[in-house]
Amino acid sequence: MSSNTSKSTALKARQLIDGASFGPEALKAIGAAFDAAWAEISGNFGHDAADIEKARLRLAKAMLSVANEESRDVDALKRGALQRMALDYRHRR
């Protein structure tokens, strides 16, 4: 995968998170949780740019589904989003 494709993929998911309607402290925690969660699961999605983009967007959506304005606990957000993503994946199969 090229560097440009990787950056484009990363930007779409981060734009979704960064554009969410949360205060600055919540967004900081949500962004950190997203990065930590992605670091934990990124190796599971191979090298295909389209598959990686889909996975990152699913993770971003899962992250936003478990977050709220009071979200500050990065580890709790990470765990919640990964659990949501796993549940959503099971329901898709």
Q: What is the pTM of this model?
A: 0.83
The full 3-state SS of the chain, as one line of letters, equals CCHHHHHHHHHHHHHHHHCCCCCHHHHHHHHHHHHHHHHHHHHHHCCCHHHHHHHHHHHHHHHHHHCCCCCCCHHHHHHHHHHHHHHHHHHHC
Encode the chain (93 residues) as per-residue pLDDT tens digits: 444 545 565 678 888 888 888 999 999 999 999 999 999 999 999 999 999 999 999 999 999 999 999 999 999 999 999 999 999 877 775
pLDDT at residue number 6: 53
pLDDT at residue number 19: 84
Domain assignments of the chain as residue spans, ordered by start: 3-92
CB 29 within 8 A of CB 74: yes
